[in-house]
A = this chain, B = another copy of it.
């Protein structure tokens, strides 16, 4: 779910001065030559102070900067990216033809009548039904009215922040997918940024390290309103066990938090002791929202399709329904996922599509295991990679930026420094399994050559 596009383009260090920006140029503002009235040079509208607080930007454009500098020095370098969590394999044939048919149907009167105009903001009913059938009916009580189809997890997370409103106390795993913190800053949950600790005030950072099996001490979040929890985790690749999930759910129910459970990688879980949805856990329906995505299962990163589960049993402190407010937010801030993408979702959940998704996920899982094996053979401690498409390599407390640069310089491979996901991520580097096999094999050769201990 984390992607370099998010990072490089969203987190620009300085206004209009970053040469790595795709959207912003150094051109001067254009004005018409003849102006008849007094034209204000700028509006009287003050800048949103929350926007001014966004800081993480200093970190990520740095990746692009260093990569570009490396390419400039070594113009023939054949860069391989294990950095971006962006799918590389084509969308499987049965899904692609489902989408093409959904598109073609919009050219007919009957087809347009069926799926052409505004749809329900919560998604097409057959898709909501199929999501329940494929992901929830076996082990949970979730029903289709609790499924809200959307254009993806990142977008839903931001709309959730809008629904909760400003001034909430938010807890995140550290390290974590940067969108949790960024959307918290934009929506007014943070009071300031501490340069020394690299942390925002009023955000609870729950450390996830090998020493605690990447499952945090939840007590730190006792006073939080919202807990973001991602499993299988981006970036560490750790999947929470049933017992850990139970601990999380019990904690939230006891202390009254709402957990936003990010399950975007759940399909990658192979450990039978790790639930594939939080709703397998008793009591989860009174404290958990679950956010899911087709992105990493079927190569839908660019197609934009996901869903969020908001159980009927989830209530605010006044007893009012969270699902009701979520529905109103979605209906005001959203207009439904693209009907053709929903056609793709329907095809992905057909028997043929489901099988092809398993194959695609299997391919990336194989990649992850090849990377894990490589680093283990090289003598590193390696985490993740079994239940997730991310490999979290322990570089013995070394500065992760330094390691990132060393890998790039020696092997022309782009990774992501762990510090990019939060201060506790330092000392680690994340490798993504989203890569063509031939590129991965070349990358592994290079790594073996340069990083033999």
Query: Once the chains bind, are B151 and A338 in contact (CB under 8 Å)?
Result: yes
Q: Is there contact, CB below 8 Å, between A37 and B287?
A: no
Given A162-B187, A317-B47, A338-B302: A327 touches B118 (CB 8 Å cut-off): no
Q: A283 to chain B: which residues have CB within 8 Å? A: 32, 35, 37, 39
Contact of A282 among B36, B84, B116 (CB under 8 A): B36
A90 and B112 form a contact (CB under 8 A): yes
CA–CA, A322 to B44, complex, Å? 12
Given contacts A42-B319, A158-B162, contact A282 B34 (CB under 8 A): yes
Over the window 309-343 of chain A, the binary record of Cβ atoms lying under 8 Å from chain B Cβ atoms (1 yes, 0 no) is 00111111111111111011111111111111100
Q: With an 8 A cutoff between CB atoms, is A43 at the interface? A: yes
Count of identical protomers in the assembly:
2
Interface residues in A36-55 (C-beta closer than 8 Å to B): 36-52, 54
Q: A282-B36, A285-B29 are in contact. Are A334 and B301 (CB under 8 A)?
A: no
Complex CA distance for A24 and B327, rounded to whole angstroms: 9
Are A339 and B116 touching (Cβ within 8 A)? no
B39 and A253 contact, CB distance less than 8 A:
yes
Query: In this assembly, does A3 line the interface, its C-beta being within 8 Å of a C-beta of chain B?
Result: yes
Given contacts A106-B91, A317-B42, contact A302 B117 (CB under 8 A): yes
Binds B, one of A255-263, A374-382, A395-403, A414-422: A255-263
Inside 8 A of A389's CB, which chain B residues have their CB? none
Convert A133-151 into 0s and 1s, putting 1 for each residue whose CB lies closer than 8 angstroms to a CB of B.
0000000010101001001
Q: Is the CB of B112 within 8 A of A88?
A: yes
What is A's interface to B at a CB cutoff of 8 Å?
A: 3-6, 9-12, 15-16, 22-25, 27-32, 34-52, 54, 57, 84, 86-93, 96-97, 99-100, 102-104, 106-109, 111-113, 115-122, 141, 143, 145, 148, 151-152, 154-155, 158-159, 162-166, 168, 179, 182-183, 186-188, 225-226, 250, 252-258, 282-283, 285-287, 299, 301-305, 311-325, 327-341, 344, 436
Given contact pairs A30-B141, A90-B109, a sample of 13 additional A-B residue pairs in the complex whose CB atoms are under 8 Å apart: A10-B331, A22-B122, A23-B148, A23-B327, A29-B286, A29-B311, A35-B282, A46-B316, A46-B317, A88-B113, A159-B333, A186-B333, A304-B335
* Residue contacts A-B, CB under 8 angstroms, 16 given: A5-B121, A5-B331, A10-B330, A10-B331, A23-B148, A28-B312, A29-B313, A36-B250, A37-B283, A42-B315, A42-B316, A45-B316, A155-B334, A162-B187, A183-B332, A338-B338
